[in-house]
Chain A
Amino acid sequence: NAGVTQTPKFRVLKTGQSMTLLCAQDMNHEYMYWYRQDPGMGLRLIHYSVGEGTTAKGEVPDGYNVSRLKKQNFLLGLESAAPSQTSVYFCASKNAGPEETQYFGPGTRLLVL
């Protein structure tokens, strides 16, 4: 069981470039989440999904898009990267059920120049 994995681990982009971050989980979890973590700001929810084919906006969705075509994968896209999107991105997943634990991936460090 790999749990929650993220690809890539680290990426440098130039302003205006696009990229996709991949999150994969092998725990058959229904719910998946994308967070960004910035110093002193905690974990802020970007987008989330409550099932295959569904997505919803979180607290800070602007500049990002997501897709959940397969239950085990949740993709986060940046269409035109900005320096303000420099951050560490964490994916998480959880089982259905109101109080199930969220399991986090190892994170992706993104630097936008």
Chain B
Amino acid sequence: GENVEQHPSTLSVQEGDSAVIKCTYSDSASNYFPWYKQELGKRPQLIIDIRSNVGEKKDQRIAVTLNKTAKHFSLHITETQPEDSAVYFCAASNSGGSNYKLTFGKGTLLTVNP
């Protein structure tokens, strides 16, 4: 089955700096890669996703890049703000078959210091 590794497990940045979280996956058939944000005590919520036919996707201060050859994808947050502090999860799935499951990384606790 799919295995997703996520690094780092914790990340602390100063407000205004950039933050980068990296994930690798094992199943070369995986083709859908969402990122979820979970604030303390809340539910995970999708913030951005990328399909395997796209190398990069941006949404305001958030971007995700995908390298299919190396089987890794990354989340980039620019101009970080205190409200970006949360746990971020990457995930992967093969959406082409009958596998409807997401495999999640173990999460990254991002702290943005004012």
What residues make up the interface of A, taking CB atoms closer than 8 Å to B? 31, 33, 40-45, 48, 50, 58-59, 90, 94, 98-99, 101-102, 104-107
Given A31-B100, A45-B101 in contact, is the A90-B43 Cβ separation under 8 Å? yes
Q: Interface with A: B55-63, B65-73, B104-112, which one?
A: B104-112
User: Chain B: interface secondary structure?
Assistant: loop
Interface residues of B in 18-72 (CB under 8 A from A): 32, 34, 42-46, 49, 51
Are the C-beta atoms of A43 and B46 separated by less than 8 Å? no
B41 to chain A, nearest CB (A): 8
Interface size on B, residues (CB 8 A): 23
| Closest CB in chain A relative to B38 CB, distance in Å | 9
Can you list 22 residue pairs at the A/B interface with Cβ under 8 Å? A31-B100, A40-B107, A41-B106, A42-B6, A42-B104, A42-B106, A42-B107, A43-B104, A45-B102, A48-B100, A59-B1, A90-B44, A94-B100, A98-B32, A98-B95, A99-B49, A99-B51, A99-B95, A102-B46, A104-B44, A105-B43, A107-B43
Give bound CA distance, A98 to B43, whole Å.
22
Chain B residue at minimal CB-CB distance from A31 = B100
Interface of A is mostly: loop
Is B114 interfacial (CB 8 A cutoff)? no
Which residues of chain B are near A48, meaning CB under 8 Å?
Answer: 100-101
- C-alpha spacing A41/B49, complex, angstroms: 21
Q: A58's contact among B6, B32, B95, B101, by CB below 8 Å, is which?
A: B101
Chain B stretch 66-114: residues in CB contact (< 8 A) with chain A: 89, 95-96, 100-107
Q: How many angstroms between the C-alpha atoms of A48 and B101 in the bound complex?
A: 8
